């Protein structure tokens, strides 16, 4: 059945975002594609073979987002906004420099706050706003450092937003596990239950079309982490300490 929705995907130039764009385009949706990488967005839009709109932006820059929102408002009400862009840099807390940490907080957490304010007026009533957290935000794990902390903040932010916009906007949380992208390929630790970006996109499309606040996948990983999170600290922390190991080279590339 053709999908005539207009969907804004933020963080669409690579990885999960690009796979999600291809999945929705195959259904017939009209897409607004955003990220910092204008060239990659244009290449993606051209490959999709339809009338899609490219709107480059930086989620860490409010002026950039305001300009993008003004442009997108001219397209008419959106059916969905799906925010995936983030910065990622695994490693021990003691080893990350303060400037990098501030950048990650600005993009991941403050950027999600910007989207939480900017997106609702662009949506039709009852439209959907989905923001990407991560299973890394479920609990403090070794080498998660500031990335995991920001994703914990995003989870809390989206929970609050869902309560505030209940009955007006369908707010959803996306919580991926390990997905095989150019970023995770640089990790030097075991990544259980790894899935492809295409499998992640399939899970997101299905989850956002179903009921339920959170779309989390793959279940064989996320359910185990949810059980660990539910334990009291005296039981959970000895288990997480067993995961501690020497970190590898930090990853400092944007998912955008």
Note whether 48 and 84 are within 8 A (CB).
no
CB atoms within 10 A of CB 240: 16
Distances in Å between the Cα of 126 and the Cα atoms of 32, 33, 102, 119, 187 are 19, 21, 34, 13, 39
Smallest CA-to-CA distance from 82 within 59, 106, 110 is with 59
Q: Which listed residue (24, 88, 147, 233) is catalytic?
A: 147
Smallest CA-to-CA distance from 249 within 187, 200, 194 is with 187
Q: What's the distance, CA 215 to chain centroid?
A: 11
CA distance 216 to 238: 25
- 24 in active site: no
Note whether 124 and 80 are within 8 A (CB).
no
Burial 100-127 (b: 16+ CB within 10 A, else e): bbebbbbbbbbbbbbbbebbbebbeeeb
Note whether 255 and 14 are within 8 A (CB).
yes
Q: Name the token pair of 118.
A: 């900017």
Residues that are catalytic:
147
């Amino acid at each position: 059945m053709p999908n005539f929705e207009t969907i804004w995907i933020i963080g669409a130039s690579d990885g999960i975002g690009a796979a999600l764009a291809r999945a929705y385009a195959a259904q017939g949706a009209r897409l607004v594609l955003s990220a910092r990488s204008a060239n990659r967005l244009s290449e993606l839009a051209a490959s999709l073979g339809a009338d899609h709109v490219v709107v480059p932006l930086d989620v860490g820059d409010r002026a950039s987002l305001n300009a993008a929102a003004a442009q997108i408002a001219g397209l008419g009400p959106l059916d969905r906004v799906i925010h995936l862009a983030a910065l990622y840099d695994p490693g021990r807390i003691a080893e990350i420099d303060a400037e990098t940490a501030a950048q990650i907080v600005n993009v991941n957490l403050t950027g999600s706050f910007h989207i939480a304010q900017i997106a609702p007026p662009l949506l039709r009533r009852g439209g959907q706003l989905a923001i990407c957290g991560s299973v890394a935000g479920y609990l403090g794990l070794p080498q998660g450092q500031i990335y995991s902390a920001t994703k914990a903040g995003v989870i809390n932010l989206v929970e609050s937003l869902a309560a505030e916009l209940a009955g007006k906007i369908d707010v959803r949380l996306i919580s991926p596990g390990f997905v095989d992208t150019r970023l995770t390929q640089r990790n030097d630790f075991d990544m259980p239950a790894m899935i492809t970006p295409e499998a992640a996109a399939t899970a997101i499309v299905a989850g956002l079309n179903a009921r339920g606040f959170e779309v989390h996948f793959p279940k064989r990983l996320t359910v185990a982490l949810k059980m660990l999170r539910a334990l009291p600290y005296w039981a959970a922390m000895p288990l997480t300490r067993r995961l501690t190991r020497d970190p590898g080279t930090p990853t400092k590339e944007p998912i955008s």
